[in-house]
């Protein structure tokens, strides 16, 4: 999984195609991410008797596949593919566009 929490990403597929946002949740098992302000669904909710919540319309951020977003490089600010480079024992994520190191990744 190339995408991590806190990455700025560009959505390349789906209804929010072309929008950018910050990754809030990155699930490496399912390879799905939740991006702030992206893929929002309005869910109509009834008032519950148990949890005493008022009914209404709740906005929910739905997860989208990590394959549908591209990381925006903080260095060249282009949407880019992520490569990896091993520097001794440290694994770096690098921008395939400008080769800048994006962030250290613990092995």
Judged by CB under 5 A, the residue of 71, 73, 82, 94 near Zn ion is 73
Distances in whole angstroms, Cα of residue 56 to Cα of each of 13, 42, 53, 76, 98: 29, 10, 9, 43, 47
CA atoms within 13 A on the CB side of 86: 3
Rounded CA separation 69/90 (Å):
26
Q: Tell me the closest approach of the beta carbon of residue 98 to Zn ion, in angstroms.
A: 3
Chain Cα centroid distance, residue 53: 29
Query: Taking CB under 5 A as the rule, does residue 97 contact Zn ion?
Result: yes
102 makes contact with Zn ion (CB under 5 A): no
Residue 95 as a binder of Zn ion (CB under 5 A): the answer is yes
Q: Which is nearer to Zn ion, 64 or 95 (CB)?
A: 95
Of 12, 76, 101, 105, the residue at the interface with Zn ion (CB under 5 A) is 76
8 binds Zn ion (CB under 5 A): no
Token pair, residue 72, equals: 């925006």
Residue 9 binds Zn ion, judged by CB under 5 A: no
Which residue ranges make up the site for Zn ion (CB under 5 A)?
73, 75-76, 95, 97-98, 100
């Amino acid at each position: 999984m190339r995408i991590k929490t806190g990455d700025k990403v560009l959505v390349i597929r789906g209804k929010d195609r072309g929008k950018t946002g910050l990754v809030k949740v990155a699930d490496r098992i399912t390879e799905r991410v939740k991006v702030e302000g992206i893929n929002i669904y309005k869910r109509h909710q009834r008032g519950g008797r148990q949890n005493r919540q008022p009914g209404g319309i709740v906005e929910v951020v739905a997860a989208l596949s990590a394959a549908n977003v591209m990381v925006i490089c903080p260095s060249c600010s282009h949407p880019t593919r992520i490569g990896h480079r091993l520097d001794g024992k440290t694994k770096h994520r690098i921008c395939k566009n400008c080769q800048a190191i994006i962030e250290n990744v613990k092995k």
